[in-house]
Amino acid sequence: MRPREAPTAHAVIEEPATEPPMQLAMAAATTVPAPASAPTLSQDDEKIPHYRTRMPPAATLRYEVSRGLLHGTGDLVWRPQAGRYELKLDFRLSGLTILSQASSGAFDAAGIAPVRFTDQRFKRGTTAANFQREADKITYSGSASEFPLRSGAQDRLSWMMQLAAIVAAEPQLAKPGGKVAMYVTGAHGDAGVWVFRCVGPEAVDLQGSPVNAIKFVREPREPYDTAVQVWLDPKQHDLPVRATQKSGANDEGYELRLIEVRAAS
C-alpha cells in the first residue's frame, strides 16, 4: 500500500440462581472470546497511510439487529461538535440491552482521535480502553496490556465513522481493490491492524427497498480474529447501512441493517 503524505489540516466536519431460558440465551449472545496474545505487527502493518477525512454530520442511525434466532434494534448516536465527538451504540434484543458501547474524544489530522472507549455487556461490568495521548499509549481498565498509540488509531466503535469519513474524502478507495488500513483496539487489551478491502458495489435490501451500497470486508488473520463486512451508502455520507461482525467459525455474530437515519435536531 503506498503511504500517503500526512495532511496538516484537521478533519473536516460537516456538521448462581437458575436463570430463565431467555437470559441464558442473552448471556450466550454476549460471550466475548478471550483475546489472543498481543499481535505481532509485520513490516506491512507499520505502513498505515494517513488519509484525508470528511466527517458525516450529527445523526442517529437505527438498525435492525440480529444474532442467530434473536432479533432486536440498535441505535448508533453520532454527535460531533466544537472539535470533539461522542458516539454511542446500544443493542436491544427481546427488550433487554445486551450491549452498550461508547466512544468519546476529539479530531486531529488523522481524523477521529478517541480518548476513551467503554464496552458493557449483558450482566457484566464495564471495561474500557484509554487513549493516553500525552503518554502516547493505549491502556485498559481490565488488563495490564498496553500498546503504543499510533496515528489514526480507532476503537471498536469509532472505526465505523472513521471508515465512512475516509471513503467520503477519498472516493477512489471505494473501488474494487481499494484498501483502508487502521489500527483498532477493543476494551479487553486486544489491538491490531484492520485492513478493509473494497469488494465493490452491492445492492442492500432495506425493508424491501434496495440501496446501492459499497461493500468492504475485513478478513480475520487468526482463528478467533474478528471478521467484518460493512456496506456504505454514498448517498448518505458513506454511513453504514448494513454490517456483520463475528469472531471465529463458531460465533453466530451480529448483523445490522439500517431502519432509518435521523438528523440531529
Q: Is 51 helix (H, G, I), strand (E, B) or coil?
A: coil
CATH number 3.30.1360 is the correct assignment for the domain at 41-263: no
Could you tell me which residues come within 8 angstroms of residue 192 by beta carbon, excluding any fewer than 6 positions away? 39, 41, 45, 183, 184, 221, 225
In sequence order, which ranges of 2-73 are alpha helices (DSSP H)? 21-29, 43-46
Q: Is 208 helix (H, G, I), strand (E, B) or coil?
A: coil
The per-residue pLDDT for 222 is 83
| Residue ranges of domains in the chain | 41-263
Mean pLDDT value across residues 166-181:
98
Rg (CA), the chain: 18
Cα four-point dihedral sign 175, 181, 186, 188: positive
Q: Whole-angstrom Cα distance, residue 167 to residue 17?
A: 49
Q: What does the pLDDT look like over 59-82, one tens digit per residue? A: 999 999 998 888 999 999 999 999
Burial class (CB in 10 A: 0-12, 13-18, 19+), 24: exposed
User: Do the Cβ atoms of 225 and 247 come closer than 8 Å?
Assistant: yes
**pLDDT surpassing 60 at residue 226:** yes
CA distances from 228 to 4, 26, 176 (A): 25, 22, 17
What is the 8-class DSSP label of residue 220?
A: -
**pLDDT surpassing 70 at residue 43:** no
Helix (H) or strand (E) holding 159: helix 158-169
The number of residues in the chain equals 265
